[in-house]
Chain A
Amino acid sequence: MNQMRTALFLAKKDLYSELKTKQILVTQIIFAALVIVVFSFAFDPANNTTKAVIPGVIWVIIVFSGILGLNRSFISEQRNDTIQGLLVAPMEATSIYLGKFLANFTMMLIVELVSIPFLFLLFDFKFLGSIPYFILVIFLGSFGFIAIGTFLAALAANSKSSEMLLPLLLFPITTPILIGVVQATRIILTNMEKFSSALAWIQLVTAYDVIFFVVCFLLIDYVLEV
């Protein structure tokens, strides 16, 4: 598994530089907090009906702060043209993708770990459902979102206005994931009686994850050509 080793190496490099600069992660977390604040203006936290929008709010936070990180992941390589270095380095395009994916995914999970408890706290949300399944849904949803997001970020990085292009590419493609995870999260958080349909949604999201991870893996060679 030479490919995996180089991918881990690249992910380590990204995370290490993130640890030094703390640029992206801090921005993502502050942005997530700001989204929560904006939502508290939009939906009155004292109102009981607000509980119904919490599953949607969780995913809005993940998607919006995820976009910030995805935008940077390939753009940051452009400043010193290090992407050229990566491309000519003795590793395959798939390892670059895998490494970037692992780094983005780790950062996304950290953001979620901070922002979701923060959201529950501020909106005074009483957790009724099962925590393991909630974590599973969050994990699967972010996996698919970041997998396709990293791929499209590599694609959009070729454009001069990639920050504007990436959301336009990413949102329509990820609609199945967003529908699936929002429904699954709603069922798990509010009424566990309909758990079987939540399971169906989880299966759909898993299928999407697998299909698109494989497709991205096959097509990344064409995106990252010198």
Chain B
Amino acid sequence: MSMNLEREKEVLVGSQLAETKKLNLSSILYVGTVISMLVALYFIFIYAAEEKTMGAAQKIFYFHVSSAWLAFMAFFVTFVCSILFLIKRKRIFDTYAYVSAEIGVVFTIIVLTTGPIWAKSSWNTWWVWEPRLITTLILFFIYVAYIMIRQMDGVWDKKARLAAVFGIIGFADVPIVFFAIRWWQTKFHPIVFGDGPSQSGGGIEGTMLTALFVSLAAFTILYSYFLYKGVSFENMKIKVERYKEKLREDLDK
């Protein structure tokens, strides 16, 4: 457990050089992100109707919901990749899990900052102790802890193993956290999709719903771009570490 007989970083095996073929996917995703984001902005600011009481402040809703969706999706990818890592023990799954968790944390921060801005104009308070808010906050803390496990010292496969275990536990915890808090507090958030059981004023206008779906799609593409870029950065980092280690070994000789 504490004893590391292996070296912390691996030496480069052979002399693999970076392959330059995969540039295609990256640029496709980049162009896709730019176009879909511009389209989403058009739908949000021009196409969608303006909210009666909140006015322009309501526009933040599209980014808020989309960021929340992106964060949840990122954490789900972390969960799936963690399971795959424990089964297959391939480093690539670990890299995907890590990058996805990082993106998720960044977008959770966005959710937690846009949320209060929106709350101030709609509920006239910055923060309420309400199920979805607390769950998001707890989610944020869980994945910050996940990243802290990754910052531990030691060989990569130990860190990857422990982080994968925590990724599974953390994700399994989220629904329970949500239900526990939901029981504890009454609901405050409007239920946007479907009929809200208790509220008559629930629901959303058609143009707004379209804008929401367009921004959800845009954020999904943005996520895949980030994920792709992040994973290739991580792979480069790993490669540089191996080169360094090889150099060190050559110097020792």
Chain A contact residues, CB within 8 Å of chain B: 78, 81, 83-84, 87, 148, 151-152, 155, 157-160, 165, 168-169, 171-173, 175-176, 179-180, 183, 200-201, 204, 207-208, 211-212, 215-216, 219, 222-226
Contacts and interface: CB of A to CB of B under 8 A. Distances in A.
Given A172-B145, A175-B138, A176-B177, A158 B3 contact: no
Contacts of A160: 152-153
Contacts of A175: 138, 177, 180-181
A100 to B, nearest CB: 13
Contacts of A223: 161-162, 165
B53 to A, nearest CB: 33
13 contacts: A84-B2, A84-B3, A157-B2, A158-B152, A165-B152, A172-B142, A172-B170, A175-B177, A175-B180, A180-B180, A200-B183, A211-B176, A226-B1
B104 to A, nearest CB: 14
Contact of B138 (A81, A172, A204, A211): A172
B162 A155 contact: yes
A165 B119 CA distance: 33
B244 to A, nearest CB: 22
A219 B1 contact: no
A204 B3 contact: no
B141 interface: yes
B86 interface: yes
B179 interface: yes
Interface in B135-156: 138, 141-142, 144-145, 148-149, 152-154
B172 interface: yes
Interface of B: 1-3, 86, 138, 141-142, 144-145, 148-149, 152-154, 158, 161-162, 164-166, 168-170, 172-173, 176-177, 179-181, 183-184
Contacts of A159: 149, 152-153
A179 B181 contact: yes
Contacts of A83: 1-2
B147 to A, nearest CB: 10
A151 B169 CA distance: 10
Contacts of B161: 222-223, 225
Contacts of A201: 183
B1 A169 contact: no
B1 A157 contact: yes
A215 B138 contact: no
Contact of A155 (B2, B3, B165): B165
A83 B2 CA distance: 8
Contacts of B149: 155, 159, 165, 169
Contacts of B141: 168, 171-172
B184 A173 contact: no
Nearest to A176: B180
Contacts of B177: 175-176
Given A84-B3, A158-B1, A169-B166, A208 B145 contact: no
Given A160-B153, A175-B138, A208-B176, A222 B164 contact: yes
Contact of B148 (A168, A183, A207, A224): A168
A211 B165 contact: no
Given A155-B165, A159-B152, A173 B142 contact: yes
